[in-house]
Amino acid sequence: MKHLIVSCAALLASTNVCAQSQNEWIALRQLAASVMRVQAIVDGKASNASGVALTPHKLPRRGQVS
């Protein structure tokens, strides 16, 4: 239970919904690692959205911009 509370607190730092079980939290944490922020410039303004790749890619090294 203590682990779950700590886990939820950590998750709340970056998300808006807390999982209802430790398994659910683990699942959400894994899934969140596959979603990224997408930004495009539309009519001169930044348009923000989300995205998830369909297929495997080689991960760049930390901080690398490719």
Partner 1 sequence: MPAVWRSLPINCHVVGRSLDAGLMRGPLSSPATLKVRDARRDICLLHVDSSPAFTPEIGRAETLKVGDTVYAVGFGVGRLTTSVGQVEALYPYEGSVVVRTSAAFPMGASGGALFDSNKRLVGILTFYRHGHETHAYYALPIEWATQLANSTQTLDNALASPFWEEPADVQPWFMQAAGHEIDGEWGKMLKVTERWVAAEPANTEARRALELARSKLQ
Is residue 1 close enough to count as binding partner 1 by CB under 8 A? no
Half-sphere exposure of 12 (CA within 13 A, CB side): 8
Is residue 23 close enough to count as binding partner 1 by CB under 8 A? no
Query: Minimum distance from CB of 19 to partner 1 (Å)?
Result: 7
The two tokens of residue 4 are 């779950």
Neighbours of 25 (CB within 10 A): 19
Single-letter residue type at 4? L
Is residue 9 close enough to count as binding partner 1 by CB under 8 A? no
Instruction: Catalog residues that contact partner 1 under the rule CB under 8 A.
Output: 11, 14-17, 19-20, 24, 27-28, 30-43, 47-60, 62-66
